[in-house]
């Protein structure tokens, strides 16, 4: 069997092809038994409250089943496996139409960043609750006047005895209302040069002085907010990677946000939408050529993800293989949803309406596609600025 993780020659380290095939097979059996039929039939047409509840439960089911934190070391509650196992699991999850974890920001962004930049105390304190589904995290990067230009954030942390006082406004903070902690990018020095003046904090979302103003999306969902910090105290122990080192920490976070595991998780959702289109909504054969084209491109997302796994040990090649992923999957998802809303069967109109509206934002969040194309042009293709 050729799997998502082994379809490219030469998987990294201990992740031999035979191990991965066996792992993916076992994961498929487990997923068939654990993904609820209710989710499969109604995903994309659920109320936000119900969706959040199912996804939060899924976090805990994953942990109990031993499928949380596959590439996180065992000492922190993970499985101590590799990237290829993460990707193999995503492949099996795509076939099973599994839910997306509510704790995805904690798992995909916070956990690897803690491992790279965190103190032992921070790793001990935060990794296990992320993996067990106990703690949901959000990301406080964007501000009303700086989204793409993150080096220009204005939220200020001022040093006080034992910690910092944070004042400012973040926006588009996804899942803030459900979050226990926030990866917070702030300015800690008003005089230092650009890129040397930032720090990242592991902020407690229940701290006095944090207030949320929900923002309603066009899809009807209200999962993000403006997030105000009014002299919020954050202890020194929750500074991640040292004062003034925020740009390096933020780059680690963004690398993971646009990387292989995220690409594999996105493949799960896009594959499920494509299957719905092919197996149900497109039954009459019209648009055959377009559907075949889209279906092939969904598999190319999978191919590109597995290509990056095969290049995991070579930083430059790994970066080249992952840099375009976000543009590929987000544009494709929009095209699939465009067709879905056009040819939906009567049973799936609500689903396609939701996916159509929701997919509009995919080329904006995690860094806009224009910015990502600039990165590919300059850093992968070596084109002039």
Ligand X SMILES: Cc1cc2nc3c(=O)[nH]c(=O)nc-3n(C[C@H](O)[C@H](O)[C@H](O)COP(=O)(O)OP(=O)(O)OC[C@H]3O[C@@H](n4cnc5c(N)ncnc54)[C@H](O)[C@@H]3O)c2cc1C
Smallest gap from residue 347 Cβ to ligand X (A): 27
Smallest gap from residue 362 Cβ to ligand X (A): 8
Told to judge if 41 belongs to the known catalytic residues of this protein, a careful annotator would answer: no
Which of 81, 205, 60 minimizes the C-alpha distance to 128?
60
Smallest gap from residue 20 Cβ to ligand X (A): 32
The string of DSSP letters for 234-287 reads EEGGGEES-TT-HHHHHHHHHHHHTSHHHHHHHHHHHHHHHHHIIIIITTT-TT
Smallest gap from residue 369 Cβ to ligand X (A): 7
Is 36:54 a contact under the CB 8 Å cutoff? yes
Give 96 or 136: the residue with its C-beta nearer to ligand X: 136
Give 96 or 177: the residue with its C-beta nearer to ligand X: 177
235 bridge partner residues: 163
Half-sphere exposure of 72 (CA within 13 A, CB side): 28
Give phi and psi for 245, each to the nearest 5: -105, 15
> Can you give 195-211 as a three-state secondary structure string?
CCCEEEEEEECCCCCEE
Which residue among 24, 86, 143, 257 is the active-site one? 257
Residues engaged in binding ligand X (CB under 6 A): 138-142, 147-148, 172-174, 224, 361, 364-365, 367-368, 370-371, 374
DSSP letter, residue 115: H
**Which residues are CB-neighbours of 38 under 8 A, at least 6 positions away?**
54
Give 84 or 240: the residue with its C-beta nearer to ligand X: 240
Give 155 or 308: the residue with its C-beta nearer to ligand X: 155
Give the separation between CA 5 and CA 310, rounded to whole angstroms. Answer: 8
Is 344:352 a contact under the CB 8 Å cutoff? yes
Please report how the helices 325-343 and 315-323 are oriented relative to each other, as an axis angle in degrees rounded to 10.
20
The end-to-end CA distance of the chain, in Å, is 44
Give 238 or 358: the residue with its C-beta nearer to ligand X: 358
Give 303 or 365: the residue with its C-beta nearer to ligand X: 365
Smallest gap from residue 140 Cβ to ligand X (A): 6
Q: Which two tokens stand for residue 316?
A: 């430059």
User: What angle is formed at CA 157 by the lines to CA 135 and CA 248, rounded to 5 degrees?
Assistant: 70
Give 28 or 139: the residue with its C-beta nearer to ligand X: 139
Half-sphere exposure of 295 (CA within 13 A, CB side): 12
Give the separation between CA 108 and CA 136, rounded to whole angstroms. Answer: 12
CA distances from 240 to 71, 174, 186, 378 (A): 21, 21, 12, 29
Smallest gap from residue 335 Cβ to ligand X (A): 18
Give the separation between CA 349 and CA 309, rounded to whole angstroms. Answer: 36
Annotated catalytic sites, by residue?
257
């Amino acid at each position: 069997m050729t799997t998502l993780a082994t379809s490219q020659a030469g998987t990294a380290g201990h992740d031999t092809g035979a191990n991965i095939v066996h792992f993916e097979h076992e994961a498929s059996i487990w997923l068939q038994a654990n993904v609820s039929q209710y989710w499969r039939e109604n995903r994309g047409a659920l109320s936000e409250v119900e969706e959040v509840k199912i996804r939060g439960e899924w976090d805990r089911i994953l942990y109990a089943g031993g499928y949380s934190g596959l590439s996180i070391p065992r000492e922190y509650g993970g499985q101590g496996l590799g990237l290829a196992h993460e990707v193999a699991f995503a492949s099996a999850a795509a076939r099973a139409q599994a839910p997306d974890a509510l704790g995805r920001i904690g798992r995909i962004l916070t956990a690897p960043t803690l491992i790279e930049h965190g103190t032992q105390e921070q790793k001990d304190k935060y990794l296990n609750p992320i993996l067990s589904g106990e703690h949901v995290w959000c990301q406080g990067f964007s501000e009303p006047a700086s989204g793409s230009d993150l080096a220009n954030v204005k939220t200020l942390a001022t040093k006080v005895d034992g910690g910092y006082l944070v004042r400012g406004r973040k926006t588009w903070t996804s899942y803030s209302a459900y979050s226990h902690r926030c990866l917070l990018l702030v300015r800690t020095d008003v005089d230092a040069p650009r890129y040397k003046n930032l720090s990242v904090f592991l902020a407690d979302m229940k701290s006095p002085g944090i207030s949320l103003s929900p923002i309603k999306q066009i899809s009807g969902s209200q999962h993000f907010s403006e997030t105000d910090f009014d002299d919020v105290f954050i202890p020194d122990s929750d500074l991640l990677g040292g004062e003034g080192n925020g740009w390096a920490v933020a780059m680690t976070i963004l690398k993971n946000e646009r990387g292989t595991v995220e690409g594999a998780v996105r493949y799960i959702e896009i594959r499920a939408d494509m299957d719905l289109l092919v197996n149900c909504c497109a039954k009459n054969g019209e648009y055959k050529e377009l559907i075949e084209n889209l279906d092939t491109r969904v598999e190319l997302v999978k191919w590109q993800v597995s290509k990056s796994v095969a290049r995991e040990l070579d930083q430059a090649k790994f970066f080249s293989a992952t840099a375009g992923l976000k543009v590929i999957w987000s544009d494709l998802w929009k095209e699939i949803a465009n067709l879905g809303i056009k040819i939906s069967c009567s049973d799936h109109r609500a689903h396609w309406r939701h996916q159509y509206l929701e997919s509009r934002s995919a080329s904006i969040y995690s860094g806009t596609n224009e910015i990502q194309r600039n990165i590919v042009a300059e850093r992968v293709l070596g084109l002039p600025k």
